[in-house]
A and B are shown apart, each in its own frame.
Chain A
Amino acid sequence: MQEELTTDQQIRRKTIKAFVAFGVASLVPLGIWKWINASAYQNNILAPLRKTLEFNEKLTAKLLSNSHLAPTFSRSEVDKKVRFNGAVGLQEKLAEKYKIKIESGEEKFEISPADLKALPKQEIVFEFKCIEGWSQIQHWGGVRLVDFMNHYKIGQKDADNLFQYVGMETPDGKYTVGIDMPSAVHPQTILAYEMNGKPLLKKHGSPLRLIIPVKYGYKNLKRIGVIKFSDERPKDYWASYGYDYFAGL
């Protein structure tokens, strides 16, 4: 440590200067805090924070490839009791002749859940992660979303490009999710009709639900009623309550 000889007056002056500078400098974080808290809300979260979430989305989507696979587990590791955490969109009675509406650009048609069972079946045992912070090893079975898209030749905007998003809704339109296309065509993303090797239970989203291991649980929409491909960001139930739209893991 250096030493320096000086008078009491100089010391007092230096001390006051430092404290004033400290006081002024501490107004900066205080100002930033106030500015953020005074800014407008964007989908129920302060706009600067929403912007940062979108920045994180761009950065991590670019830095980290979507082709990375979620770790898988053996069936003996599956949690026995599958947690039930949300019933939004499941209130109506299930239609007897259940149909799923598909929209891809100009093309519109309906399919029944049984149609999907004709496609190759894909099973996965992975750690389902809820945004609340809990996780469970779960076993699901169904059809890869990308296989489904290829089979029906949908999701294609033109010869070379896919649409940017897939939107899904429950039949009553109350629960919605929007998924970016790279996550939708991820090899582990499936339209599931089975859980633990048995048909889906109602509370877990029968007859068909989305299982998307690269996203938090709230993107795994139960009881798919509509599947839409578009370049516009589809509605997303939890994003409208202030949560991250991307929700990638």
Chain B
Amino acid sequence: MQKIIHKHPLAIRWFHWLNFPLLFIMIWSGLLIYWANGVYKIQIGETLLFKFFPKGFYDFLGLSGQLAKGMAWHFATMWLFTINGFLYVLYTIISGEWKLIFPEKKSFKEAWQVVLLDLGLSKSVPPQEKYNAAQRIAYTMVIIMGFGSILTGWAIFRPVQIAWLTTILGGYKAARIEHFILTIGFCLFFLVHIIQVIKAGWKNFQSMITGFETKK
């Protein structure tokens, strides 16, 4: 007989999957807004390394000329994104699930071992409970980033009414850049997340849907 190992509580699965369409709409509509003043770039001295974003990027994804639409979607979906995030954090605190996610003292040391292992540079497998050290750090970071996105978002949404927040964040222009950088952070998180899920295989993936893994 096989053993069922319960891994993800139903609530966690709901919060997780709800985030998928919500974050997608937030980033998509955010790009529609950013397009109207897409000025950010990385350059060293006079050498342009990367422009956010080349024209081809907008054309390919059909993102040009829809500022009003982007804003309307962004300012509607923000509520759902915020509520989902808030309930998720509340749930992890009440259920005690946070203990499995929040990094421990040793996590920071062990996270390097995970990175080295994943890059094929080391063969020693660091200990793993529900999540390994690198996962703990990444998942906690992404929660903090979500919180940061909400704060920087409000700082540019109502920079007069909540001017104190905008000021703390370094002003209107700075808050807009911070909001943008956090979004890039979400995209990078997503990329690594997908690669790791593919690497971890089907059993791990389906546990985010069924809630359990099986073991002989």
A: residues with CB less than 8 A from B are 1-8, 11, 14-15, 18-19, 22, 25-26, 29, 33, 44-46, 48-50, 52-53, 56, 60, 64-65, 68-71, 127, 129-135, 213-214, 241-244, 248-249
Other A-B contacts than A132-B37, A134-B39, 6 sampled, CB-CB below 8 A, are A3-B4, A14-B210, A46-B72, A53-B75, A127-B171, A243-B67
The tally of CB-CB contacts under 8 A between chains A and B is 125
Query: Interface stretch among B50-58, B107-115, B158-166?
Result: B158-166
Those 8 A-B pairs whose CB atoms lie nearest each other, nearest first: A133-B37, A242-B68, A64-B161, A49-B72, A18-B210, A52-B76, A132-B36, A249-B160
Which residues of the partner chain B approach A134 to less than 8 Å between Cβ atoms?
A: 37, 39
Interface string of B198-216 (1 = CB under 8 A from A): 0000000010011110110
B: residues with CB less than 8 A from A are 1-7, 17-18, 21, 33-34, 36-37, 39, 67-69, 71-73, 75-76, 79, 130, 158-163, 166-167, 171-173, 176, 206, 209-212, 214-215
Closest to A243 in B: B68
A-B contact pairs, 10 of them (CB 8 A): A1-B5, A11-B4, A14-B212, A25-B17, A44-B68, A60-B161, A131-B67, A132-B67, A214-B160, A248-B158
A64-B215 Cα distance, complex, nearest whole Å: 55
- Contact at B1–A5, with CB atoms within 8 Å? yes
A18-B214 Cα distance, complex, nearest whole Å: 14
Which residues of the partner chain B approach A68 to less than 8 Å between Cβ atoms?
A: 160-163
A15-B208 Cα distance, complex, nearest whole Å: 11
- Contact at A242–B69, with CB atoms within 8 Å? yes
Q: How many Å from the CB of A27 to the closest CB on chain B?
A: 12
Q: Which of A2, A18, A64 has the most CB of B within 10 A?
A: A18
Query: Of B37, B76, B176, B214, which is within 8 A of A11 by CB?
Result: B214
Which residues of the partner chain B approach A19 to less than 8 Å between Cβ atoms?
A: 206, 209-210
- Contact at A133–B36, with CB atoms within 8 Å? yes
Q: How many Å from the CB of A25 to the closest CB on chain B?
A: 8
Which residues of the partner chain A approach B176 to less than 8 Å between Cβ atoms?
A: 133
A49-B171 Cα distance, complex, nearest whole Å: 29
- Contact at B36–A244, with CB atoms within 8 Å? no
